[in-house]
Amino acid sequence: MSRPRIKAAGLFAAAVAVVALLSGCDLNENADTAKGRQLFIDNCGTCHFLKEAGTTGVQGPDLDAAFANARAEGMDQDTIEGVVTDQISHPRDTDPDSPTYMPPELVTGQDADDVAAYVGSVAGVPGIEPPTAPGGPGGQVFANNGCGSCHTLAIAGSVGAVGPRYLRSSAAQV
């Protein structure tokens, strides 16, 4: 092969690599992180701790701890999104009877993109706190302790599906 052809082939290969890398960046740029937050709380928060979401699960990894060092060393949001997307689609193999079992594709499609973008934007961010919750001091305690991942409390805007539903901050159970 002649020198000009080798050079042209090298430039072509480099161009293809750049296009491949750039096309994988920010795949979730149109993701709805507010929806992703709610989906995370509803589907993931019973198992995962994530401070900004106010979830306190202990069966799965603490996502703040899992990504804090990587973020401090320069891992960007898009990379974290990619890791989360992969974990949603292909969680580590465990026995379905194990308390650490995560079913594959707990959320799918755009919902999975929204969750991954949300987690990528908040996991391991130093000093991050949950937003101010509606419902006064009781609503804030409810939110900060991850209660909304299991329980519904209308005034706090949570729609948990596992525990009893509370309609008012006075804890009237339904």
* Cα distance from N-terminal residue to C-terminal residue, the chain: 78
Structural domain contains residue 4: no
Residues 90, 141, single domain; the answer is: no
Residues whose CB is less than 8 angstroms from the CB of residue 76 and which lie 6 or more positions away in sequence, other chains included? none
Structural domain contains residue 17: no
Q: Measuring CA to CA, which residue among 90, 68, 71, 80 is closest to residue 33?
A: 80
Strand partners, 50: 55
CB-based burial label for 128 (10 Å; 0-12, 13-18, 19+): middle
Q: pLDDT tens digits, residue range 69-114? A: 999 999 999 999 999 999 999 988 888 888 778 888 899 999 999 9
Higher per-residue confidence, 30 vs 119: 119
pTM for this one? 0.69
Residues 113, 78, single domain; the answer is: yes
Residues 146, 75, single domain; the answer is: no
How many separate domains does the chain show? 2
Residues 110, 172, single domain; the answer is: no
Structural domain contains residue 116: yes
Strand partners, 96: none
Instruction: State the residue range of the domain holding 74.
Output: 33-130
